[in-house]
Amino acid sequence: MKDYTLKDRSYIIISTVVLILLWKITSIMVGRSIIIPSPEETLENLVTILMSTDFLRAVMSTLTRVLIGFSLSFLLALILGIISAFVTPFYYLLKPIVLLQKSVPTMAIILLAIIWLDSEMAPILVGFLVIFPIIYSAVVQGVRDMDPKLIEMANVYELSVYTKVMRIYIPAIRSSLFSVISTALGLNLKITIAAEVLSQPNISIGTSFQIEKSTLNTAGVFAWSLIAIFIAALFDMIIKYFKKKYVHH
C-alpha cells in the first residue's frame, strides 16, 4: 500500500511538472502575457496577492458564503430526501421542482439571484439552488438502496423518527453522503465565485477576479485561479480525512 501511495504521488508530481512545462512553452509561443502569462509572472502576482492586506478578507468572505449555502442546502436536502424516500406522494410533489433546478442554466440562476437579492447574499442563493438537487438525489437513492432488514428492525422496535434518522438512515448512507459532499463543495465553490464575479460584493474572490480582468492583468486571473484550486483541493482532503475516519473505521 505504501509503495502504491509513493508511486501515485510520483505520477502526480510528474503530471504537474509536465503541465507547468506546457504552460511555459505555450506562453513563449504566444508571446503575449495578456493572453497567456508565464508561470513566473503568475507566481509574482500570486505572491503579491498573498501579501496584500485584503487577501484573507476576500478568501474568508467567499468561504463564508460557500459554507452557508452548502450547509443550508445539505440540511434541507437531507431532511427532504429522507422523507421523499419513504413518502412516494411527497417525492413526486418535489420532483418537478428538483428537475427545474437541474434544468435551469446556471447563468440564469445567477442573474435572477442578483435581481432578487443584494450583491452580498446573491452568491449564497446561487450555490444553494445549484447543489441542492445533487445532494437531494443522492440522499433519496441512498435511503432507497438501504437493506430492507434495517428498516424492518426499526419498525419492530418502534424506534422514534429521530432515532431512526440518526442511528439507522444516516449511518447507512454515510459513505454516499461523503462522496456527494466532496462533489457538492467543490461545485459550490466554483458557482459561488462565478456569482461573485457578476454580483460584485464588497470583497470576495470573485470580486478580485473581476478587478484583475478589468485591468487586463491575466497573470492576476491565473493567480486567483490557483488560489481557488488550492481551496478546492483542501476541501477534498478534509472530506477524505473524515470519510476515512468515520466510514472506513
| pLDDT digit string, tens, across residues 118-159 | 999 999 999 999 999 999 999 998 888 777 777 777 777 667
Same domain, 41 and 17: no
Same domain, 21 and 87: no
Domain count, the chain: 2
Same domain, 15 and 53: no
When the pLDDT of each residue in the chain is averaged and rounded to a whole number, the result is 88
Q: How far is CA 49 from the centre of its chain?
A: 23
Q: Which burial class, exposed, middle or buried, applies to 105 when counting CB atoms under 10 A from its CB (0-12, 13-18, 19+)?
A: exposed
Same domain, 41 and 27: no
Q: Report pLDDT for 141.
A: 87
Using the predicted structure, report yes or no on whether residue 160 has a pLDDT greater than 90.
no
Q: Could you tell me the pLDDT band of residue 47, with boundaries at 50, 70 and 90?
A: very high
Q: Report pLDDT for 1.
A: 45
Q: 220-244 burial, b for 16+ CB within 10 Å, e for fewer?
A: bbbbbbebbeebbeebeeebeeebe
Same domain, 20 and 107: no
Using the predicted structure, report yes or no on whether residue 3 has a pLDDT greater than 60.
no
How do residues 53-104 score in pLDDT, each as one tens digit? 999 999 999 999 999 999 999 999 999 998 898 888 999 999 999 999 889 9
CA distances to 130, 232, 242 from 238, rounded to whole Å, are: 22, 10, 6
Q: Report pLDDT for 203.
A: 93
How do residues 181-203 score in pLDDT, each as one tens digit? 988 999 999 999 999 999 999 99
Domain with 13, as residue range(s), is 1-31
* CATH number for 223: 1.10.3720.10
Same domain, 185 and 116: yes
Using the predicted structure, report yes or no on whether residue 168 has a pLDDT greater than 80.
no
Same domain, 211 and 105: yes
Q: Report pLDDT for 50.
A: 95
Same domain, 18 and 47: no
* Entry pTM: 0.86
Q: Any idea which residue has 509503495 for its cell?
A: 3
Q: Could you tell me the pLDDT band of residue 7, with boundaries at 50, 70 and 90?
A: low
Q: Report pLDDT for 217.
A: 93
Using the predicted structure, report yes or no on whether residue 169 has a pLDDT greater than 80.
no
User: Alpha helices, DSSP H only, in 104-164?
Assistant: 106-116, 122-144, 148-156, 161-164
**What DSSP string describes 73-110?**
HHHHHHHHHHHHHH-HHHHHHHHHHHHHHHHS-HHHHH
